[in-house]
Chains A and B, each alone.
Chain A
Amino acid sequence: MAENKKTCLYDKHVALGALMSPFGGFDMPIQYAGIIEEHNAVRNHVGVFDVSHMGESRITGPDAEKYVNHIFTNNVWDAPTGKIFYGMMLYPDGGTVDDLLVYKLGENDYFLVYNAANIDKDVAWIDEQSTGYDVKLDHQSDYYGQLAVQGPEAEKTLKEVLGIDGSDLTFYTHKELEHDGETIIVSRTGYTGEDGFEIYASHKVIVEMWDKLMAAGVQPCGLGCRDTLRFEAGLPLYGDELSKDISPITATLGMFVKLDKQGGFIGRDACAKQKAEGSPKKLVGLELHDRAIPRHGYDVLDADDNVVGYVTTGYHSITLDKSLAFALVDRPVGTLGNELKVKIRKKVFPATVVKKRFYQAKYKK
């Protein structure tokens, strides 16, 4: 097996004593101080994540707008420069290649940000679908490092520690800035359910920024709390809530799938069919009435103990102090308020179907 890749901040993580673990082909920090402490830092103050493992591609050329719309479920036609869209790339059968962000940098100029674990697959997909489109595809994952500064004090931290004014950005917008002789991208985005920013820059600049944030006492945060934070905010993780077998319609992310947009997109007809007929499975939230913790893969049962689905992600929520889960269940049992059960080791615990957004996100609209 090939050795895992390292981000430009790998040595910093090791020096900080982080617990390191493989994720998406990289050796990544899981935690520094502890998942709970880092989670609470982001909910209550501010924390910084090394997310340099994420993949990036830039798409330019006369057909760039047309091409991005062809491979992406959200509608980027006639979007204003500075806007960011969340959506998916789909296979023709509606299964998900990946979920991603699309930044509109300018006319026929787009920046795509996707999951580390899917970089090779996504690059191949983006290349293959471009036949017949006059576009230039520039895959930049090896160039960019990325930091996510997240939490209610993120704007203040950006200004005071990094000298970056983010006050003019609203949620899901970005700007390009000249910084230390290079162009960097700053966006008001994140994966935590809090206000926050993400910064894309060269490895050199990312390392300098990280050092400044550490010197200022900002809490370094690992992938452990990244997962607990995104889970509470109802955000999916590719591999758990989305996959080649789980369409965005099944994952109840239909609001990011613009079935009626001009020219359609790959996977459009399959999604339209699923939406019209009802996909056989549905992603729901579950709330247990006990502290027992539902984990990925545990069976979900109906009142008669028939297996009707499985847990995709589950935690004892740090912010809400409840045992919660996302579960993929048979559509008929997935209605809000329905009583189901989760099998945890030898015991069975009652669980109620609830909304997936367990935590009310606090974005700057």
Chain B
Amino acid sequence: MSKIIDGLYYTESHEYVKVDGDYGYVGITDYAQKELGNVVYVDMPDVDDEVAAGEEFGAVESVKAASDLNSPVSGTVVEVNEALEDDPGLVNKDAYGSWIMKVQMSDKSELDNLMDAAAYKAFIGE
């Protein structure tokens, strides 16, 4: 069983966003890290990059393959998780603690387009 946390918002491409005021912490779900296997590289955006909901902002790579990351929300990147540069495997150890980017959201109503924990649980069939 994959871990799913109440109160987060989820995408069909298995990213989550954890909302803190006007900011959102974006990462990949526990289900996604299991499907990927050992994460060996996270291609993160730069601070001040503009990201758009549904659009690619980076990639997370296992030994075998690269998977694009799609942003759940639009806004400006204010921070990236530098710990992942040295230890990308943190994503496997704690997917929800290992957020990838912190976004200052430009349109919080976009959150309404995302799944809640119950809907995501149904989506991955668990």
Contacts and interface: CB of A to CB of B under 8 A. Distances in A.
4 interchain residue pairs of minimum CB distance: A35-B63, A316-B40, A36-B38, A291-B41
Interface string A334-358: 0000000000110000000000000
A316 B66 contact: no
Contact of B43 (A30, A318, A345): A345
Nearest to A347: B43
A292 B41 contact: yes
Contacts of B80: none
Contact of A293 (B38, B66, B85): B66
Contacts of B62: 35
Nearest to A291: B41
Interface of B: 37-38, 40-41, 43, 59, 61-66, 85, 88
A34 interface: yes
Given A224-B63, A291-B88, 4 more contacts: A35-B38, A35-B64, A228-B63, A292-B41
Interface string A25-69: 000001100111000000000000000000000000000000000
Interface string A276-319: 00000000000000011101000000000000000000011010
30 contacts: A30-B64, A31-B37, A34-B37, A34-B38, A35-B38, A35-B62, A35-B64, A36-B40, A36-B63, A224-B64, A291-B41, A291-B88, A292-B41, A293-B40, A293-B41, A293-B61, A293-B66, A295-B65, A295-B66, A315-B63, A316-B40, A316-B41, A316-B61, A316-B63, A318-B63, A323-B41, A344-B43, A345-B43, A345-B59, A345-B66
Nearest to B92: A34
A188 to B, nearest CB: 28
Nearest to A228: B63
A291 B66 contact: no
Interface core residue of B63, B64, B65, B88 (most chain A CB under 10 Å) = B63
Contacts of A228: 63
Contacts of A344: 43
A259 B40 CA distance: 43
A291 B61 CA distance: 11
Contacts of B37: 31, 34-35
Contacts of A295: 65-66
A315 B65 CA distance: 9
Contacts of B66: 293, 295, 345
Contacts of B64: 30, 35, 224
Contacts of B65: 295
Interface in A233-267: none
Contacts of A292: 41, 43
Contacts of B59: 345
B57 to A, nearest CB: 10
Given A35-B64, A228-B63, A345-B59, A291 B38 contact: no
A295 B43 CA distance: 14
Contacts of B85: 291
Contacts of A35: 37-38, 62-64
Contacts of B38: 34-36
B16 to A, nearest CB: 22
Nearest to B66: A295
Contacts of A224: 63-64
B48 to A, nearest CB: 16
Contacts of A293: 40-41, 61, 66
Nearest to A30: B64
A345 B59 CA distance: 9
A152 to B, nearest CB: 22
Contacts of B41: 291-293, 316, 323
A224 B40 CA distance: 14
B47 to A, nearest CB: 15
A344 B58 CA distance: 11
Contacts of B63: 35-36, 224, 228, 315-316, 318
Nearest to A19: B37
A106 B93 CA distance: 54
A316 to B, nearest CB: 5
A315 B40 CA distance: 10
A315 to B, nearest CB: 7
A92 to B, nearest CB: 36
A295 B59 CA distance: 13
